[in-house]
Structure 1
Amino acid sequence: MTEAEKTKESLQFTRVNKETQAMPISFEDWEEKARELLPGGPFDYIAGGSGAEETLATNRSAFAKWAIVPRMLRDVSQRSLGIELFGQQLKTPVMLAPVGMQAIAHPEGELATAKAAAAAGVPMVVSTVSAHTLEQIAETMGDAHRWFQLYWSNDREVCASMVKRAEAAGYSAIVLTVDTVMLGWKRRDFRNGYSPLREGRGLANYISDPVFCSRLPEVSVENAVEEVLRNIYHPTLSWADIDYLRQHTSLPILVKGILHPDDARIALERGVDGIIVSNHGGRQLDGAISTLDALPAIVEAVDGRIPVLLDSGVRTGSDVVKALALGANAVLIGRPFMFGLAVAGERGVANVLETLIHELDVSVALSGSNRVSDLNRSILVRL
């Protein structure tokens, strides 16, 4: 590393250090500060999981079962965190997972998150049940990378309308969430009597959709909530619906919620373009396998033919390194940026991202690698 590069790195570290002195540092710090600021209902909705929250805990403990074995004397002065997905050049392998109804954390909701993501060069996956329309979020992001997450509707024409709107608004992939055929059993929400969906907090994309509105006797919050609740949970969802979705978009389609290698193989047979290994952050089936434990078998089944991403439980730069070394092409984070949003809006999200990306850079270097593409299982040991 040249003297100029050393000076630049030192100044960058100093700037980050000064900024973070006024902000929480670790995920736990962000969570605790968010707990202080948010009412119980919204906080528990964001932080909690289903049932006894075993899956929520296992998502984290799974990372602790793997240890990084660093390689030394490798000259890691020419580092790059960049990756390519679907022909897009991305600055880092980190993305923002689809989280709905973000206005429960901060009044600006997804718009604040979108600004921070665009500035950081981190792709954002926008939820169907966002508090702002997908078009408003797209306008906020400008040319920044963004994907649209689709919650399937029992009214297929609503699905078709949503994905066509996303394509027209500059979204570059569709993420179909498949693990919400029923709502997870969330004890915290039951105790709090809290449901932001029933309160109409995630209606923006619905009440702006002409097909959805055509189904209402009158466009009102009450009617829209009831129509969404009739349609958003879909126990009849099957692989045949992938074929219907393909007929209505030319964008890459990723399936989010895959945990079994046989489902990964079926996804390949159905022409799916990517898989997101996810258990919905522990918010759906309690007692489910952790995503990190599910990842290796799915990577093996896919055998490099399509990208495999992972979410649920990612908190640190070392977590990202472990996931990538086990075969993930990229990772998504959810709760970390939501706590940042709750604490300080756009600035909070930006700070969470900056800290995580810097920690990832350090972790890559200390593992003995220059590029995230160099990471592989040889640097890991199972404890």
Structure 2
Amino acid sequence: MAFIPALDRQRSIFIKGLSGRRPLIPFEAATLRETAKRKMSTPAWAYIDGGAGDEKTIAANLAAFSRVVIRPQMMRPNASADLSTTLLGMRLPVPLLLAPIGVLDLVCRGADRMVAEACRETGIPFVFSNQAGIPMETCAAAMGDTPRWFQLYWSRSDELVLSFVRRAEACGCGAIVLTLDTTLLGWRSRDLALGYLPFLRGMGIAQYTSDKVFLELLRKGFVAPGSGGGQDAMPGSGGDQSAGAMPATGAAPKPPITPATIAALLQLKANYPGGLWKNLFSSEPLEAVRLFTGIYSNPALSWEKLAWLRQQTKLPILVKGVLRADDALRARECGADGVIVSNHGGRQVDGAIASLDALVAIRASLPKPFPVLLDSGIRSGSDLFKALALGADAVLLGRPYAYGLAIGGRRGVREVIQNISNDFELTARLAGCRTISEIGVDVVGD
């Protein structure tokens, strides 16, 4: 299935409407979100939809787009338009990629593969999550020739980091997206209120459990330097274990043995490769989670590591999580080939500047053609248009496609992609812009 132009798809929807057939996925952002909420479990909704603290940064991301207005230009013939673009040698039907979202298997089993298949059907690139529920190789196979990138979290083992990079190279990823803003887990109030962290139940760790270096570290009983007592974290359902999921300075408490603890342990064994019956009497799943919780994040990450990574791979490297112009400049100096302006969808620092508000200064510090992308807060095609007008080369779409996944699986993701893309196309053409180069600051205001 190829990318469908806006007018063709609009016509198809109206014609199908004559026979009473309605689209599966809501078009309006708030309705999409509310429909998805009814489809998800309470822990899944908290993890996918939630953010840090009082979630003021989530609200700020949305408000920033609302403050920007479009100033359409009239009498510019728009009978045809070409809004495709090229990014780091990658041809895109529209300047849109799907952002990495961890633990999509909370939404449904096989979620990452479904998203990969939807991207193949629409030609939109997918950034594989470091915290996926399915190994990158499986998702790459599902995408065929469709472009894909790999998100990298820097763990406490450089050997493991390099292994992930080599695997990304081998499965055809076109770039590495080094995420800088998650060296520690943010204070995510909804997850904390539930005492729920999916990693402790064996979810979202497939890149690790499919990695030869990780499995060798597991076999050797590796203890990450500086991880303190994080290795002692036990999966359970109480509140204490969520602290043990991060490297700590003291010993992480073990939860009491209760029916809930036993249920969580069985869930871990069921989620681990091989399934419940294979793992029922094995200690490996629990040991793997203990290793993961002690190794997956690295608070000591520094710019020197980026320079080292630049020497290890020929793939383009983009750094994600940049909100300051000085950091953007430092990233380029250390070898980054692009930056992604992002506050992690409001999931890390509550009160952080909205990504769209940070974009203008960062673009001014790094003029085109240096690639600058925007992540966080995209909910519509007009949001995509505004981001491009303010200097972004492309945007990463996050939560909306997860909502589509919850509602309709692969089809739901595909329809969300098409809705955003078609909305963007019509917004651009009605604003008098027929190519990406015509979308500039002269067509927006505040």
The two structures have a TM-score, normalised by structure 2, of 0.82
Instruction: Report the counterpart of residue 3 of structure 1 in structure 2.
Output: none
Q: Is the 8 A contact 1:325 1:376 kept in 2?
A: yes
Q: 1:39 to 1:182 in 2, by over 3 A?
A: same
Give me the whole-angstrom Cα distance separating, in 1, the residues matched to 2:8 and 2:218.
57
Q: Is the 8 A contact 1:277 1:291 kept in 2?
A: yes
**Structure 1 residue 95 and structure 2 residue 159: aligned?**
no
Deviations 1:77-96 (A, max 9, x none): 22112111111211110110
Q: Is the 8 A contact 2:6 2:423 kept in 1?
A: no
Output aligned runs, 1:1-383, within 5 Å: 11-17=8-14, 18=16, 20-217=22-219, 220-382=284-446
Give me the whole-angstrom Cα distance separating, in 1, the residues matched to 2:9 and 2:207.
39
RMSD: 1.4
Per-residue deviation at 1:34?
Answer: 1.4
Question: Partner letter of residue 105 of structure 2?
Answer: A
Per-residue deviation at 1:125?
Answer: 0.2
% identical aligned pairs: 42
Question: Partner letter of residue 13 of structure 1?
Answer: Q
Q: 1:381 to 1:199 in 2, by over 3 A?
A: same
Per-residue deviation at 1:305?
Answer: 4.6
Question: Any idea what SS the aligned residue of 2:321 has?
Answer: strand
Deviations 1:333-375 (A, max 9, x none): 1100000001110000011011111100110011111012210
Question: Partner letter of residue 125 of structure 1?
Answer: V
Moved more, 309-318 or 366-375: 366-375
Give me the whole-angstrom Cα distance separating, in 2, the residues matched to 1:209 and 1:9.
42
Q: Is the 8 A contact 2:43 2:196 kept in 1?
A: yes
Size of the alignment, in residue pairs?
375
Question: Any idea what SS the aligned residue of 1:202 has?
Answer: coil
Deviations 1:126-167 (A, max 9, x none): 011100000000000011000000011110010000000010
Question: Any idea what SS the aligned residue of 1:364 has?
Answer: helix
Per-residue deviation at 1:268?
Answer: 1.5
Q: Which runs of 5+ in 1 are unaligned?
A: 1-7
Question: Partner letter of residue 350 of structure 1?
Answer: R
Question: Any idea what SS the aligned residue of 2:312 has?
Answer: coil
Per-residue deviation at 1:170?
Answer: 0.5
Per-residue deviation at 1:20?
Answer: 5.0
Q: Which runs of 5+ in 2 are unaligned?
A: 222-282
Q: 1:262 to 1:44 in 2, by over 3 A?
A: same
Give me the whole-angstrom Cα distance separating, in 2, the residues matched to 1:28 and 1:118.
27
Question: Any idea what SS the aligned residue of 2:218 has?
Answer: coil
Give me the whole-angstrom Cα distance separating, in 2, the residues matched to 1:191 and 1:354.
35
Per-residue deviation at 1:246?
Answer: 1.7
Q: Is the 8 A contact 1:20 1:351 kept in 2?
A: no
Question: Partner letter of residue 347 of structure 1?
Answer: R
Per-residue deviation at 1:16?
Answer: 3.4
Q: Is the 8 A contact 1:83 1:373 kept in 2?
A: no
Per-residue deviation at 1:279?
Answer: 0.3
Per-residue deviation at 1:247?
Answer: 2.4
Per-residue deviation at 1:11?
Answer: 4.8
Question: Any idea what SS the aligned residue of 1:348 has?
Answer: helix
Per-residue deviation at 1:233?
Answer: 2.1
Per-residue deviation at 1:25?
Answer: 2.0
Question: Any idea what SS the aligned residue of 1:256 has?
Answer: strand
Give me the whole-angstrom Cα distance separating, in 1, the residues matched to 2:347 and 2:402.
15
Moved more, 316-325 or 199-208: 199-208
Question: Any idea what SS the aligned residue of 2:105 has?
Answer: helix
Per-residue deviation at 1:27?
Answer: 2.0
Give me the whole-angstrom Cα distance separating, in 2, the residues matched to 1:146 and 1:16.
30
Question: Partner letter of residue 387 of structure 2?
Answer: A
Give me the whole-angstrom Cα distance separating, in 2, the residues matched to 1:344 and 1:204.
23
Deviations 1:255-293 (A, max 9, x none): 000000000111111121010000000000000000000
Question: Any idea what SS the aligned residue of 2:391 has?
Answer: coil
Deviations 1:30-74 (A, max 9, x none): 211111111111011101110000000000000111111100001
Give me the whole-angstrom Cα distance separating, in 1, the residues matched to 2:413 and 2:369.
33
Q: Is the 8 A contact 1:108 1:345 kept in 2?
A: no
Moved more, 15-24 or 370-379: 15-24
Question: Partner letter of residue 262 of structure 1?
Answer: D
Question: Any idea what SS the aligned residue of 1:309 has?
Answer: strand
Q: 1:193 to 1:378 in 2, by over 3 A?
A: same
Give me the whole-angstrom Cα distance separating, in 1, the residues matched to 2:368 and 2:152.
25
Q: Is the 8 A contact 2:57 2:352 kept in 1?
A: yes
Give me the whole-angstrom Cα distance separating, in 2, the residues matched to 1:20 and 1:239.
51
Give me the whole-angstrom Cα distance separating, in 2, the residues matched to 1:9 and 1:106.
29
Per-residue deviation at 1:229?
Answer: 1.3
Per-residue deviation at 1:220?
Answer: 2.1
Q: 1:350 to 1:215 in 2, by over 3 A?
A: same
Deviations 1:303-347 (A, max 9, x none): 125200001000111101110000000001110000000111000
Per-residue deviation at 1:10?
Answer: 5.5
Give me the whole-angstrom Cα distance separating, in 2, the residues matched to 1:169 and 1:9.
32
Q: Is the 8 A contact 1:172 1:251 kept in 2?
A: yes
